[in-house]
A and B are shown apart, each in its own frame.
Chain A
Amino acid sequence: METLDIISYFLLLVLLLSGIKVVTTSNVIHAAIFLVFTLATTAILFILLAAEFVALVLILVYIGAVIVLFLFGVMITRAPLGPNAELDNDKNKIFAALLSLSIFGIFTFILIQTFDSTVVISEGTSTKLLGEILLSRFVFPFELVSFVLLGALIGGITLARKDNALIDEDQI
């Protein structure tokens, strides 16, 4: 149990450091790569918390698809690929740091006061039970969310198509 504790603390440290790098690095590609690190450490944390199916979905959907989409977005919008100082809004920096630190302070204060239990790191797997629940009790939201995904896909294609007569006429 002691080894697992040390591993978890190390994972949380890596998570926070790579998260900070995502918002502070001046290189667009590096930010996407550090987001990959953040998500990968989150997936390992999920495996430690006996949620291995969620961890696999996180790796497949986020690291497999979303990051590729982001890199395409960076390439298509021709963001400067090297380090560039124009990426941050320097005027907002102090205000943003104050706001985020105060949100963090309030959250930490409340969380430390409210929760002091210990997580039971169970040794079993939860995938079989998760599949049964997902296809019995949550089958309607499951189908609904697949239609949301289909609608988003069609909407994204329609928005991003170039040979659309409507877009050509309504140039803003």
Chain B
Amino acid sequence: MSIQPILIAAAALFSIGIYGILVRRNAVMVLLSIELILNSVNINFVAFNALLSDVMLNGQIFSIFIITVAAAEVGIGLAIVLMLFRNRETANINEFDLMKW
């Protein structure tokens, strides 16, 4: 099959993630949208790996690293959201404006 539909679907998933980050009010939902963006990048890596039929499998290895770092990011991110919730009694990102002048 042609590679164009896969790349366009990945681009669409990326834009959906951007929309989610800008629109969502709950911090956990913003993290979910970030996962969508990382997933679209993974699709691109694996698709280009298959397109180039790379013998060193660089695309697949990088997508495995991305998945690992994304798991670390989710752990830290949710711990931060938990701390914010303990201190502010809310997970609404509009109310975290302490550093706003």
- Min CB distance B16 to A, Å, is 5
Interchain CB contact under 8 A, B22 and A95 = yes
Given the complex, which residues of B lie within 8 Å of A92, measured CB to CB?
A: 22-23
| Binary contact track B31-75/A, C-beta < 8 Å → 1, others 0 | 111011001001100110111010111011101110111111111
**Within 8 Å CB of B61, what residues of A?**
130, 133-134, 138
Structural contact, A156 and B4, CB atoms closer than 8 A:
no
Residues of B in contact with A (beta carbons under 8 Å apart)? 1-9, 11-20, 22-29, 31-33, 35-36, 39, 42-43, 46-47, 49-51, 53, 55-57, 59-61, 63-65, 67-76, 78-83, 85-88, 91, 94, 98
Q: Which 5 A-B pairs rank lowest in CB-CB distance, beginning with the nearest?
A: A23-B20, A152-B72, A96-B22, A107-B11, A159-B79
Contacts between chains A and B (CB distance < 8 A), count: 253
The secondary-structure label for the interface of chain B is: helix
| Interface range, A side | 35 or more
Please name all residues of chain A whose beta carbon is closer than 8 Å to the beta carbon of B22 when the two chains form the complex.
Answer: 89, 92, 95-96, 99-100
Distance of A79 Cα from B30 Cα, bound (Å): 13
8 contacts between A and B (CB under 8 A): A22-B33, A35-B36, A72-B78, A73-B81, A77-B28, A87-B25, A145-B69, A167-B86
B16, A19: Cβ atoms under 8 Å?
A: yes
